[in-house]
Amino acid sequence: MRSGGDPGKPRGWSIASGVKNLITESCEQVAEMHSMLAEYHRKLAKEARLDIVRDYHVDLAQRFADEATQIPRRAATLARFHEREKQVTWALARADLREAR
């Protein structure tokens, strides 16, 4: 057993990298789901007989498609915010140590 670490975690694992991987994987899954929903509503729009139903499904398909394209950008922004938060936390911790001396 390594000192100060969890024996179940591989070396080099950190909470930050775990969170980043989780965010990336989750966002990819959400984006894929939105793409699937957009395709499903496009199919429903083609099959619709009433104009109002067709318009509803076309609109919904477009919204899902737009959202699917935005998710990776939001994930990248979230990762940058998370990294910046980590940097600020480390900087504050170092400043506290200097003041304690």
Listed by start position, the domains of the chain span: 19-100
- How large is the average pLDDT for residues 6-10? 47
d(CA 27, CA 72): 7
- pLDDT single digits (tens) 22-60: 666 788 888 999 999 999 999 999 999 999 999 999 999
- pLDDT single digits (tens) 49-89: 999 999 999 999 999 999 999 998 988 888 899 899 999 99
**H helices present in 7-50, as ranges:** 15-47
User: pTM for the full model?
Assistant: 0.60
Higher local confidence (pLDDT), 101 or 34: 34
The token duo for 67 is 């959202």
Higher local confidence (pLDDT), 13 or 21: 21
Indicate the DSSP class of residue 101: -
d(CA 79, CA 76): 5
pLDDT score recorded for residue 100:
74
